[in-house]
Amino acid sequence: MMTYPRNIWDSKADWLVIPSNTQGIAGAGLALQAAERYPDQAQEYKRACRRGVHEVGYPVITPIDDPESPHKALYWFASKTVVQQPSRLSYIVTGFEKLAHQLIAN
C-alpha cells in the first residue's frame, strides 16, 4: 500500500504542482509557500506572468537547481486568472489535459 506525506514539501516527488493565478501573485496556500521556499522560482513564475506566458492550460515550469532540495522543478498550474477569485474547475481540467498531452508527447 502506498502512503503519502501529509505535507507536500515532505514529498519525494521530482515535480510539485503549484496551483497559481496568471497575475504572478503568490497570495496564499501552496503558491505562497512555494514562493517562500523557492524565491528564485517564484521570480521566474512572476516574470512569465508579466510576459503573458502563463495562461490557463500553459503552465510555467521552473527547475530547482538546489542539490539540497528533493524536488527538481515546480509546475505552476493556473487554476485561476485573478488572485482574489476562486479556482475554476474548467481551468483545472484544461490544465490537466495539457499536462497529459505533454507527458504523452515526451
Instruction: Check if the beta carbon of residue 30 is closer than 8 Å to that of residue 18.
Output: yes
pTM here?
Answer: 0.84
Nearest to 69 by CA among 3, 18, 10: 10
Cell of 38: 523557492
Backbone Cα Rg of the chain: 14
pLDDT of 7-47, one tens digit each? 899 988 999 999 999 999 998 899 999 999 999 999 999 99
Kind and range of the H or E run holding 62? strand 60-63
Among residues 47, 77, 81, the alpha carbon closest in space to that of 60 is found at: 77
Q: Is the pLDDT of residue 1 over 70?
A: no
- 88 CB contacts (<8 Å, ≥6 apart)? 79, 80
